[in-house]
Amino acid sequence: MTKVTYREAVRSGLREALQRDARTFLMGEDVGKYGGTYACSKGFLDEFGPERIRDTPLSESTFVGAGIGAALGGMRPIVEVMTVNFSLLALDQILNNAATLRHMSGGQFSVPLIVRMATGAGRQVAAQHSHSLEGWYAHIPGITVLTPATVTDARGMVLSALEAPDPVFIFEHAYLYSMEGELDEGPHAVDISRAVVRRPGSDISLLTFGGSLWKALAAATQLAQEGIEAEVVDLRVLRPLDRDTIVSSVRKTHRAVVIDEGWRTGSFAGEVSAQIMEEAFYDLDAPVTRVCSEEVPIPYPKHLEDAALPSVEKILRTVRAICRPGNRFARLGER
């Protein structure tokens, strides 16, 4: 085990991808001389040269489209979009080209493209740069959507995505870049088809992904001191969603809270809730509950931003309400 930051783990994965396959190149805004907006490609221009580390104009539709074309031509492009809100400028290329070309060509063409972008709030960058739109992309057939929350996933998912024949979108929560963690020195690639139970428990399932994973783990630690053992499931792959791991956890604990930094209305948490209701309704001792961001553009002032986002305290209040003695749904310890 080696302690590294999330940023260093991403950089390690990108470097290994570039070293592993000569067809791989990185392109995006400020990825070259500047070293990346979040320093994930620092030093790469000197190491790999301008043919493989390509700075692009401020035109997301153009350079995402160029990445799609390069993938169709046999290359293995990694496209970096600075923040998730800017990806909306490339949504036509993503939805109507990257995600559909295999289907529309009857399987003749594949698009082995990786698109990385920073997502999430909590950094006081105001309403235009604090979106959590992973759930929007998880709605699109034809692509894989990943949300690495640990340093091991931050490195390994890049390498696994490099082997995928179809587009893979990696959403890196910007709040995590400076987070330190223990990097697993085992096999570098990780399974990009399965969720992971990060903390086992027996009383309630906390289902989440990305930056909210650490809030759920912190809440679970505090709940354990109160006699409530929460199981924390890191969804980490939003498309294809690992329904089996979700349902297995809920059938064990009989309660579920879904934590999602997206807005509540139309949130990915709503999709997870619906799948639980479809597959495990008769195993539930309480309604599935969601903890999401408030229905407002994310504020700039720190105290208002904190109030708008899911928090450890909000998770604790929600779990206590479900599990408290006297709750007509609560049957803790009866099974």
Model pLDDT, residue 138? 98
Segment 13-38, tens digit of pLDDT: 999 999 999 999 999 999 999 999 99
> What are the residue numbers of the active site?
60, 129
Segment 310-323, tens digit of pLDDT: 999 999 999 999 99
Q: How far is CA 276 from CA 56, 132, 134, 244, 288, in A?
A: 43, 22, 20, 10, 8
> What percent of the chain is predicted at pLDDT more than 70?
96
Average pLDDT over residues 171-179: 97
> What percent of the chain is predicted at pLDDT more than 90?
93
Model pLDDT, residue 241? 98
Model pLDDT, residue 325? 64
Model pLDDT, residue 187? 67
Distance CA 171, CA 168 (A): 10
Segment 272-295, tens digit of pLDDT: 999 999 999 999 999 999 999 999
Asked if residue 89 has pLDDT above 70, the reply is: yes
Segment 236-270, tens digit of pLDDT: 999 999 999 999 999 999 999 999 999 999 999 99
Average pLDDT over residues 297-321: 97
pLDDT band at 334 (very low <50, low <70, confident <90, very high): very low
pLDDT band at 333 (very low <50, low <70, confident <90, very high): very low
pTM of the model: 0.95
User: In CATH, what class is 196-323?
Assistant: alpha beta
Q: What is the CATH code of the structural domain delimited by 2-183?
A: 3.40.50.970
pLDDT band at 330 (very low <50, low <70, confident <90, very high): very low
Of the candidates 237, 110, 107, the one whose C-alpha atom is nearest the C-alpha of residue 165 is: 110
In the chain, where are the structural domains located? 2-183, 196-323
Q: Which residue has the tokens 């931003």?
A: 305
301 neighbors 206 (Cβ within 8 angstroms) = no
Asked if residue 225 has pLDDT above 80, the reply is: yes
pLDDT band at 155 (very low <50, low <70, confident <90, very high): very high
Model pLDDT, residue 227? 96
Average pLDDT over residues 177-197: 89
Model pLDDT, residue 1? 78
Q: Identical fold at 2-183 and 196-323?
A: yes
Distance CA 205, CA 231 (A): 5
Largest CA distance in the chain: 66
> Is residue 128 within a helix (H) or strand (E), and if so which, with residue range?
none
pLDDT band at 64 (very low <50, low <70, confident <90, very high): very high
Work out the mean pLDDT of the chain and round it to a whole number.
95
Distance CA 50, CA 62 (A): 19
Model pLDDT, residue 211? 96
